[in-house]
Amino acid sequence: MSATIPTTTSSSRRHLLAAAAVLPFAVRPAFAHHGWSSFDQDRPIYLEGKVTSSKWQNPHAELMIEVSPGMALPADLKQRKLPAQSTEVDGPGLLARTSLPRRRERQWELELAPLTRLEAWKVAEIKPGTMVSAVGFTTKDEQGEAVMRVEYLFVAGKVYGLRSSPA
């Protein structure tokens, strides 16, 4: 009794090789990016520090910052003028509820908006060494990595509302 081994055509092999080559890139975003539901939108936090690295890419730009030693809430935070956005955001209410994070990591990742929204706000690429501050949300109960989804970004005397485009 002889066994027959199925053969594939060279066209089928090319399709299999092409699929195998593309598959890791097709599924990567699902693993690399997380949803916004893990962020605690009831507790805004404030961070300030120096940018140590910048990734100006989609699905959203990212900054790594080294938190300023002795960081405190700015006395004028609740009174800061905020820009009009195309989506209604209770900015003054958000600033009034803002507190410092409980965790004490020196390095934080700031997740900004997609590049198209940053372009609409006319945010120039932020380079390492730039001082920034931000109001946004971290994970529920501050669990996991030290990451903030930024709502308001303060850079060089300007403020940007990153939830939506400028009004």
SS (H, E, C) 28-49: HHHHHCCCHHHECCCCCEEEEE
Q: Using pLDDT thresholds of 50, 70 and 90, give the confidence band for residue 21.
A: very low
Its pTM stands at 0.78
- Tell me the C-alpha to C-alpha distance, in Å, between residue 11 and each of 6, 17, 21, 22: 15, 10, 15, 17
- For 31-50, what is each residue's pLDDT tens digit? 344 556 678 889 999 999 99
- Does the pLDDT at position 125 exceed 60? yes
Q: What is the pLDDT of residue 4?
A: 53
CB 51 within 8 A of CB 129: yes
Q: What are the respective helix, strand and coil percentages of the chain, to the nearest 5?
A: 25, 30, 45
CATH entry, 36-161, from 3.40.640.10, 1.10.1660.10, 2.40.50.140, 3.90.1150.10: 2.40.50.140
CB atoms within 10 A of CB 93: 11
Residues 74-96 pLDDT 10s: 999 999 999 999 999 899 999 99
CA–CA separation, 62 and 58 (whole Å): 9
Q: Is the dihedral of CA 155, 161, 162, 167 positive or negative?
A: negative
